[in-house]
Amino acid sequence: MASDLTKTFGISTETPSGETLEELRQHYFTHANMRELDDTNVGGLRIQAGSRKHAADMERKKQQATSDFLLIEQLTKQLENLTDEMASKYTKGFAAQFAAPLLDTETFERINRIQDIDKRREAFARAINEGIKSGTIDEKEAYSNPDFADWLRKHDEVEAAKSLDAKLETQLSEASHNNATDNDLSAGIDKLFTDNPAI
């Protein structure tokens, strides 16, 4: 028996693709099973979004994010200790002292104008590390002082960990957004078939 919807609009029980609504319903069911979706019910075509695999991936990423956060915290603390040791052993301006012969004048002066000493040190370390990676700064020269070499390497470790953490946060955010979109779509399909049980 045709639903009220088909009666009201005088439409046939075939879809534009030529499939009957029952065939279309079966395709939705097959698609849901292929995606390993939970609680698939063909009666009203209830498709609960979020597969077990997706939930496991999300949980793994959340655990990784927590682990990354703890790693960043630990590396940052180590960097702070190294920085304190460097300032005590050399001077508070040790970063500028070591950076001066390594950076071009324009870069050095631009960074040296940064008021906050921690941000200034960080900018010097970043500029030197980037120069080493690009080949514009000789690694042996930059690492000639073992203390400064350790400090530069620790800065690089912190930057790398933060970069990975940022990528993971982006993935988690996208996955969460996609899951919300899937839920909205699932709810819409569910409502369509629930409101029109004869479809």
- R_g of the chain computed on alpha carbons: 30
pLDDT, one tens digit per residue, over 102-112 is 999 999 999 99
**Structural domains of the chain, count:** 1
- As a whole number, the mean pLDDT across the chain is 74
pLDDT over 90 for what percent of the chain? 40
32: exposed, middle or buried (Cβ count in 10 Å: 0-12, 13-18, 19+)? buried
Structural tokens at position 167: 């990528």
Domain that holds residue 8: 4-195
**pTM across the whole model:** 0.56
Would the pLDDT of 124 be above 70? yes
Using alpha carbons, select from 148, 161, 156, 142 the residue that is nearest to residue 82.
148
**CB distance 61 to 172 below 8 Å:** yes
